[in-house]
Structure 1
Amino acid sequence: MTSASFLLLNLFLLLITSNSLSLASVSVQQSKFWSQNVDSNMPQSILSKLSPLSESEAEMFTPLASKKYFLSNPKFCTTANLVCSVAVKPLPPTNINYAHFTDKVYVPMEQVHPASLFRLSVIKKGHKVTLPTNLDRELPNRSFLPPQIARNIHLSASELQRIFPTAFSIPMTKAAIQLSLSHCDAPTVKGERRGCLKTLEDMIQFSRESLGSKHLVALASDYTKGVGNQVVMIENVKPYKTNKIVACHEMFFPFATYYCHKLPSTQIYAVDVVKPNKIGTTNKMFVICHMDTSAWAPDHVAFKLLKLSPGKGEVCHWITQMDLIWVGSD
């Protein structure tokens, strides 16, 4: 047994036998931070990612995570609800960030559903539209790490492979992590502010600073499982009177992480859709429209699909259950 494993075992025994350790949950603190900064209910996609760690467990793991010899093990992964040893199929880049199109984040046409990208004129009341298949995509559930642990884990291939070697031993999971890192490392486009946020608190703080707002409203599409590739009718469209939004897209790392970015000249629309002949069964979904595409690469997949060129038209896409939109409430 290595010295690191021996120390970890002793800390777990201490956790089990000590009556003085607090049983308060980290999720309570995460929920409190949300309520202090966000004027809307927490969507299910975020609620499911709250940490199951107790404060005592977080205190136990924090000094370990700061050590160079720290290595995840099944107990840590289970206790913190991480995904360390599951085969994960990489998501197409189009599901994460439409604005980027670089050598690192290449999007082949065959990976793009024809309904994934569209013009604003498509979302009008009474129109029938086909929803893209990527609305059905989802990643294994992982929880956010507490800030004191997350700050000791850096988003780099070498660091993640050292801490989560089992994940990197699975080719599909390794590929999913590498794709996520390519987005985190991609250059910004003109006017963009972005970051890969490893904690719920960091995501909220990033959005507050980017929007210059003390309080936020979180917008999330209704659960979209099973709606991909289906024809729906648009029942209502509500534009939000702001062009200042932060879009956050779920990435794959062993712990919950979101890629968030603020782009200029972006509009958000709430769209009520209903399946034809299914009266009363309405889903509220959100659409983002990038109104200024002048800084996008000329060979961007959106231009090929919509027969446009940079700056010559807006590009819109649906928000999935893996996405979150932030707007200011003040």
Structure 2
Amino acid sequence: MTLLFTNAGNKVGFLPREVAESIPFSTDKVQEILAPFAIDPESANAEVVKDTINDCENPPRAREVKYCATSLESLVDQNVARLGTNIRVLSTPEGKKQEYTVLAGAKKIGDDRVIVCHKEIDDTEVYTVPLMGADGTKLKAVTICHKDTSGWDPDYIAFQILKIKPGPPFCHFLYSDALV
């Protein structure tokens, strides 16, 4: 299959905790959030901020524990609180767009407790899947398998792409800037 392993376009890093805690984080305070970053309230970036905050304020999906980290420290604190101190952080290395072949040796990582993109979802497994590019490049793609999607929104984009309804399991590769 032809794949492009790149980042999702998130060029922004985490704010230090003391800075993050000084900025309100709610949909009714969007203007106060945009101002320190000089984000035009009518811009596409402002829409991303609004959508992110709105997503954080929405209730979690079935069997999901939702936590929106505002700093690297808060992300680490939450992960240690949920998973303990024996933690591995994984990501997919960047790779150019080309044909990739899945090689033997997919490996399940850890137990069924994972935190992905600030989401901890029951019945989720993490794998590394070895791939070989047409140019001979090898990489291990981090892959997430959602074993039970029965409580998910039927309009979720993955169901539309796969032409399935909630319920059956599905797996997907992660962007290079996604952390597991």
Shorter chain as denominator, the TM-score bin is 0.7 to 0.9
TM-fit CA distance, 1:134: 7.8
1:272 maps to a residue whose letter is: P
Match of 1:272 among 130, 133, 144: 130
Deviations along 1:248-295, whole A, 9 cap, x unmatched? 2xxxxxxxxxxx11100001110121212x33x211210101000110
- Label 1:167 to 1:292 Cα distance change in 2 as closer, same or farther (>3 A): same
Counterpart of 1:222? 93
Match of 2:162 among 306, 312, 317: 306
- Label 1:242 to 1:320 Cα distance change in 2 as closer, same or farther (>3 A): same
**Which whole-Å CA distance do the structure 1 matches of 2:48 and 2:154 have between them?**
27
**Which whole-Å CA distance do the structure 2 matches of 1:267 and 1:163 have between them?**
35
1:219 maps to a residue whose letter is: L
Q: Secondary structure of the residue that 1:302 maps to in structure 2?
A: helix
Higher relative contact order (CA 8 A, sep 6+): 2
- Label 1:134 to 1:275 Cα distance change in 2 as closer, same or farther (>3 A): closer
Match of 1:321 among 171, 176, 180: 176
- The number of equivalent residue pairs is 177
The question of whether the paired residues in 2 share the 8 Å contact of 1:238 and 1:269 is answered with yes
**Which whole-Å CA distance do the structure 1 matches of 2:41 and 2:151 have between them?**
38
Counterpart of 1:31? none
Counterpart of 1:232? 100
Deviations along 1:37-63, whole A, 9 cap, x unmatched? xxxxxxxxxxxxxxxxxxxxxxxxxxx
TM-fit CA distance, 1:146: 2.1
Could you tell me the TM-score, scaled by structure 1's length? 0.49
**Which whole-Å CA distance do the structure 2 matches of 1:292 and 1:130 have between them?**
27
Match of 1:243 among 112, 117, 129: 112
- Label 1:164 to 1:307 Cα distance change in 2 as closer, same or farther (>3 A): closer
Question: Of the two, which has the highest radius of gyration?
Answer: 1
Counterpart of 1:207? 79
**Which whole-Å CA distance do the structure 2 matches of 1:304 and 1:143 have between them?**
31
More helix by share: 1
The question of whether the paired residues in 2 share the 8 Å contact of 1:194 and 1:261 is answered with yes
Match of 2:142 among 286, 289, 292: 286
- Label 1:182 to 1:149 Cα distance change in 2 as closer, same or farther (>3 A): same
TM-fit CA distance, 1:163: 4.8
1:130 maps to a residue whose letter is: T
**Which whole-Å CA distance do the structure 1 matches of 2:2 and 2:48 have between them?**
28
**Which whole-Å CA distance do the structure 2 matches of 1:169 and 1:191 have between them?**
34
Matching of residues 59-138 of structure 1 within 5 Å: 129-131=1-3, 135-138=6-9
**Which whole-Å CA distance do the structure 1 matches of 2:33 and 2:160 have between them?**
41
The question of whether the paired residues in 1 share the 8 Å contact of 2:24 and 2:32 is answered with no
Counterpart of 2:26? 156
Structure 1: any 5+ residue segments left out of the alignment?
Answer: 1-128, 249-259, 326-330
TM-fit CA distance, 1:170: 5.0
Could you tell me the TM-score, scaled by structure 2's length? 0.86
2:57 maps to a residue whose letter is: D
**Which whole-Å CA distance do the structure 1 matches of 2:150 and 2:61 have between them?**
10
- Label 1:138 to 1:239 Cα distance change in 2 as closer, same or farther (>3 A): same
Structure 2: any 5+ residue segments left out of the alignment?
Answer: none
Q: Secondary structure of the residue that 2:129 maps to in structure 1?
A: strand
**Which whole-Å CA distance do the structure 2 matches of 1:246 and 1:163 have between them?**
26
The question of whether the paired residues in 1 share the 8 Å contact of 2:24 and 2:33 is answered with no
The question of whether the paired residues in 1 share the 8 Å contact of 2:14 and 2:71 is answered with yes
